[in-house]
Amino acid sequence: MLFEILALLLGLVHFGVPLTYYTCMKKFTKRPWNIKIDPSYRPAVMVVIPTYNEAAIIEDRLNNMSMQDYCKELTEVVVMDSSNDDTAQIAENWAKEAKDARTKVIRQGRRDGKARALNFALKSATEEILVIADADASWPGNALTEAVRWLSDPTVGAVSCLKKPLSAGPGGMEEGYRRYYNTLRLGESKAFATPIFHGELAAFRRDLLLRVGGFPENLGADDSHTATKIALLGYRAIIPETLWCEEVVPRKSDYFSWRVRRAQHLILHFLESSRAKPKGNFAWIIAVETFLHLINPWILLMSVLLVILAAAIFHSLVAYVLVTIGLVLLSVNQYRMWLAQQSNLLFAALRNITNKEIVWKKQIK
């Protein structure tokens, strides 16, 4: 019976902590922002599109960018390219045609990771705000205006977006995942700051980027870690409910490697961030997110192993019942999504030992 009790206790912790956190964050989403918007704030903005072999979509991305309703004279778009396909050429041709779009292309010559590309752009930037815009994302026309609006309060150091997947992913998994995580991002932002940002749109004050030493080149999660460092300086790093981006989801055969690589980078980010000494609400946000990314998946694994052992060795009725409940629950989308994410985090932790994927394999979308 010891195995079953232990398994139940571990299961209770594994599901109890995220459920409690989710309930708590959901309440926070209803709180006020305590942010003062200054509608007259009009800073100069550099938008950086890092590209590695994006020939198939770069034109769409640049067209999408040119639809922004933020003042064109204040916006410079830089394509930071390290492709070995025609991305740079296509972007250059596009820029020649659309002169008022103030777009330039920088060819890096060789590929050495997204963070290095961003740091290269940061070095040459003079604008007050720097925005990362991944190539495979699509922004609504008011995205820049909206990001700048939130940055008009000097207590806000960084702003990112909620994400809408363009397809539901295998078995509707991506959609379930986003519904859950968007709520967490918004709740954390209202509580103070969210430690997870999205490179599909991530806007930073340039002076703060310089203060935190630019984008981390050894962690992968350039967006999240930079936002967290800015929050650790005492500035808010937020994802508001008014800012949404669309994101292309890789095809089924690449979906899991995509999720595992992203999980690898979040693990590296929280490993590093958990060493910091955050204050106030951000202290428990970092504590819970670190627990959820680094420890909680292992608690589930232990719980499952104990149940399987109890069933196989002791033929325990309680263990059989627990296995049956676990299998029946697989018909629930959110539960399947959760288990998949836990196994991604487990694979990711192991994979980090041999390959941190700082320069990563491109997934086919």
Q: What are the residues binding ligand GDD (CB under 6 A)? A: 50-52, 54, 80-82, 111, 113-114, 117, 134-136, 198-199, 220-223, 258, 261-262, 265, 359, 362
Please report how close the Cβ of residue 250 comes to ligand GDD at its closest, in angstroms: 8
Strand partners, 137: 247
* Alpha-carbon gap, residue 40 to 344, rounded angstroms: 45
**Residue 350 neighbours by CB under 8 Å, 6+ apart:** none
Strand order of the β-sheet with 156-160 is 103-107, 75-81, 45-51, 129-132, 202-205, 156-160, 236-238
* Alpha-carbon gap, residue 203 to 314, rounded angstroms: 56
Among Mn ion, ligand GDD, none, the one that 52 touches (CB under a kind-dependent 5 to 8 A) is: ligand GDD
Residue 253: count other Cβ atoms within 10 Å of its Cβ: 10
Nearer to ligand GDD, 4 or 81 (CB): 81
C-alpha neighbours within 13 Å on the C-beta side of residue 170:
15
Please report how close the Cβ of residue 2 comes to ligand GDD at its closest, in angstroms: 41
Please report how close the Cβ of residue 183 comes to ligand GDD at its closest, in angstroms: 18
Please report how close the Cβ of residue 338 comes to ligand GDD at its closest, in angstroms: 20
Query: DSSP for 131-166?
Result: EE--TTEE--TTHHHHHHHHHTSTTEEEEE-EEEES
* Alpha-carbon gap, residue 91 to 273, rounded angstroms: 36
Among Mn ion, ligand GDD, none, the one that 51 touches (CB under a kind-dependent 5 to 8 A) is: ligand GDD
Query: Scanning residues 81 to 140, which ones bind Mn ion (CB under 5 A)?
Result: 134, 136
* Alpha-carbon gap, residue 75 to 102, rounded angstroms: 7
Please report how close the Cβ of residue 258 comes to ligand GDD at its closest, in angstroms: 6
**Residue 295 neighbours by CB under 8 Å, 6+ apart:** none
**Residue 242 neighbours by CB under 8 Å, 6+ apart:** 146
Among Mn ion, ligand GDD, none, the one that 191 touches (CB under a kind-dependent 5 to 8 A) is: none
Q: How far apart, in Å, are the Cα atoms of 164 and each of 137, 239, 244, 252, 266?
A: 10, 13, 7, 18, 20
With CB atoms as reference, the residue minimizing the distance to ligand GDD is 199
Nearer to ligand GDD, 95 or 309 (CB): 95
Nearer to ligand GDD, 71 or 86 (CB): 86
Nearer to ligand GDD, 10 or 121 (CB): 121
Nearer to ligand GDD, 52 or 177 (CB): 52
Among ligand GDD, Mn ion, none, the one that 50 touches (CB under a kind-dependent 5 to 8 A) is: ligand GDD
362 three-state secondary structure: coil
Please report how close the Cβ of residue 258 comes to Mn ion at its closest, in angstroms: 8
Please report how close the Cβ of residue 202 comes to ligand GDD at its closest, in angstroms: 7
Nearer to Mn ion, 78 or 137 (CB): 137
Q: Which residue has tokens 């204050």?
A: 279
* Alpha-carbon gap, residue 196 to 228, rounded angstroms: 8
Please report how close the Cβ of residue 224 comes to ligand GDD at its closest, in angstroms: 8
Among Mn ion, ligand GDD, none, the one that 113 touches (CB under a kind-dependent 5 to 8 A) is: ligand GDD
Please report how close the Cβ of residue 136 comes to Mn ion at its closest, in angstroms: 4
Nearer to Mn ion, 21 or 52 (CB): 52
Nearer to ligand GDD, 17 or 359 (CB): 359
Nearer to ligand GDD, 84 or 324 (CB): 84
Kind of pairing between the strands at 202-205 and 129-132 = antiparallel
The size of the interface with Mn ion (CB under 5 A), counted in residues, is: 2
Among ligand GDD, Mn ion, none, the one that 111 touches (CB under a kind-dependent 5 to 8 A) is: ligand GDD
Structure tokens given for 17 = 């902590």
Among ligand GDD, Mn ion, none, the one that 359 touches (CB under a kind-dependent 5 to 8 A) is: ligand GDD
* Alpha-carbon gap, residue 159 to 201, rounded angstroms: 8
User: Which residues lie near Mn ion (CB under 5 A)?
Assistant: 134, 136
